[in-house]
Amino acid sequence: MSEQRSHAPQEPQRRPRVSRNRKKPHRTKAASALLYVLFVVGLSAVLATVGWIWANDLLALNKEYTSAIVKVENDEKFSDVVDSLKDNGLIEYKFLFHLYGLFSNASDKITPGTYELNTDMDYRALVTNMSSSSSTRQTIDITIQEGYTIDQIFQLLEEKGVTTVEQLQDMSANWDYNFSWLKDLPLGDYHRLEGYLFPDTYTFYLGEDPKYVINKMLVNFESKMEDYMDQFNEESKYSLHDIVTIASMIEKETDGEDYAKISSVIYNRLENTNAETQGYLQIDATLVYLNGGKVPTEADKAIDSPYNTYLYKGLPAGPISNPGMTALYAALNPENTSYYYYVLNPETKKHEFTKTYAQHQALVEKYGVEE
């Protein structure tokens, strides 16, 4: 019997896999590298351009020339100053100026005032030229006339752009100025400095600190009165405040030549209370001070105020104007007379003085003027 062999099925022979190394095109890597280089170059160019633009603003390079008047108010925020610089075309980028201000403490260097600035100034120069020592800070000369009241002075200073009435009133009422002769004048009412703001021509910065404005006038007063201060002590019959009060009335009553005679009338009435005038000064200028500067009327004589010299004997509560040196000297050195009355001659615009009420009344009737 023939032997049968069983054969397992043979798997078909597989061709050996040939490993192929597929090379990526060199151009793919080159393109990526090129794109990266272009990106870096482009970004650098953008940053360089932006940096150059910012540098132009920071350093005031390649700017079209323009100038502007910039006013920095008291207590104004740094951001408001930056807005003003931008609005006036002096800077382009507010955030950049804010950043500069942060690192340079610019807000501490800028002081209130009015400044003339221009686009030739870089950031540092802009800040420097808005400081207290700036040569571009604008000034103004103001003449304060003899006899101006404190309200008139404050109004004038505001109109000229020096500072505001409100700020001046606040600093007059509430700031304790370092003068010994002011120590008895209590804080709280701005009229306390009436009489002491010496009339003169002053140079002030526009947008000036109100404390400095007032102090400058007080310093001038002290300087002018320096030679006379020693005579005021506890034994003096009249205090400095009394003298200034008398001078303030002389200043408002004088015809321009009769300071010492007007002074004599005031002293005669003050010191001779048994005379016809019985200690009443009856100065019309005190009524004008009370009624807001209007021509006084009979009704004004009834105003209940310590400034009303028709209603109350002796000196008014305080000065009614700011007198000049001629009036102050007359208050210190009255002429020796027996006069108690005076009338303004409407033709000559000069006062005529009399000793008695009868003589005074005769002149009133002669010239047809009101008492």
pLDDT tens readout for residues 174-201 = 999 999 999 999 999 999 999 999 999 9
Q: What is the CATH number of the domain that holds 129?
A: 3.30.1490.480
31 or 141, higher pLDDT: 141
Domain match, 110 and 163 both: no
What does the pLDDT average to over 49-73?
75
pLDDT band at 100 (very low <50, low <70, confident <90, very high): confident
Could you read off the pLDDT of 142-177 as tens digits, one per residue?
999 999 999 999 999 999 999 999 999 999 999 999
pLDDT at 223: 96
pLDDT at 6: 45
Domain match, 86 and 124 both: yes
SS (H, E, C) the chain: CCCCCCCCCCCCCCCCCCCCCCCCCHHHHHHHHHHHHHHHHHHHHHHHHHHHHHHHHHHCCCCCCCEEEEEECCCCCHHHHHHHHHHCCCCCCHHHHHHHHHHHCHHHHCCCEEEEEECCCCHHHHHHCCCCCCCCECEEEEECCCCCCHHHHHHHHHHCCCCCHHHHHHHHHHCCCCCHHHCCCCCCCHHHHCCCCCCCEEEEECCCCHHHHHHHHHHHHHHHHHHHHHHCCCCCCCCHHHHHHHHHHHHHHCCCCCHHHHHHHHHHHHHCCCCCCCCCCCCHHHHHHHCCCCCCCCHHHHCCCCCCCCCCCCCCCCCCCCCCHHHHHHHHCCCCCCCCEEEEECCCCEEEEECCHHHHHHHHHHHCCCC
Other residues' Cβ atoms within 10 Å of the Cβ of residue 215? 16
277 or 103, higher pLDDT: 277
Q: Which of 18-27, 86-95, 212-221, 324-333 has the lowest mean pLDDT?
A: 18-27
Give percent of the chain with pLDDT exceeding 70: 85
Q: Does residue 354 lie in a domain region? A: yes
Q: Does residue 8 lie in a domain region? A: no
With 70 as the cut, is the pLDDT of residue 129 above it?
yes
What does the pLDDT average to over 261-274?
97
Mean pLDDT score of the chain, rounded to an integer? 88
Phi, psi (deg, nearest 5) at residue 79:
-65, -30
CA dist., res. 21 & res. 40, Å (int): 34
With 50 as the cut, is the pLDDT of residue 4 above it?
no
pLDDT at 51: 54
Q: Does residue 9 lie in a domain region? A: no
What does the pLDDT average to over 24-28?
59
The CA-based dihedral angle spanning residues 205, 208, 209, 213, taken in that order and rounded to the nearest 10 degrees: 70
With 70 as the cut, is the pLDDT of residue 71 above it?
yes
Q: Which of 52-56, 101-105, 265-269, 307-311 has the lowest mean pLDDT?
A: 52-56
pLDDT band at 65 (very low <50, low <70, confident <90, very high): confident
Cross-strand pairs, 286 = none
pLDDT band at 81 (very low <50, low <70, confident <90, very high): very high
pLDDT band at 2 (very low <50, low <70, confident <90, very high): very low
Handedness of CA 246, 247, 248, 249 (dihedral sign): positive
245: nearest Cα among 306, 176, 179, 310: 306
196: nearest Cα among 157, 253, 248, 125: 248
Q: Which residue has the tokens 């020796």?
A: 336
Domain match, 177 and 295 both: no
CA dist., res. 345 & res. 350, Å (int): 5
CA dist., res. 73 & res. 148, Å (int): 26
Query: Helix 94-104 crosses helix 26-59 at what angle (to 10 degrees)?
Result: 70
Domain match, 206 and 326 both: no
pLDDT band at 133 (very low <50, low <70, confident <90, very high): confident
pLDDT band at 37 (very low <50, low <70, confident <90, very high): low
Range of the domain at 86: 46-137
Q: Domain count of the chain?
A: 3
Q: Which of 38-47, 92-101, 219-228 has the lowest mean pLDDT?
A: 38-47
Domain match, 76 and 164 both: no
pLDDT at 63: 76
Domain match, 168 and 62 both: no
Q: Does residue 117 lie in a domain region? A: yes
Domain match, 149 and 262 both: no
What does the pLDDT average to over 43-52?
53
Domain match, 185 and 295 both: no
Could you read off the pLDDT of 201-232 as tens digits, one per residue?
999 999 889 999 999 999 999 999 999 998 88
Q: Per the structure block, which two tokens stand in for 191? A: 């009229």
pLDDT band at 137 (very low <50, low <70, confident <90, very high): confident
Q: Does residue 122 lie in a domain region? A: yes
Domain match, 242 and 350 both: yes
CA distances from 215 to 26, 76, 78, 164, 370 (A): 85, 22, 27, 15, 41
Q: Which of 31-45, 255-269, 306-320 has the lowest mean pLDDT?
A: 31-45
Domain match, 215 and 243 both: no
pLDDT at 17: 55
With 70 as the cut, is the pLDDT of residue 128 above it?
yes
With 70 as the cut, is the pLDDT of residue 42 above it?
no
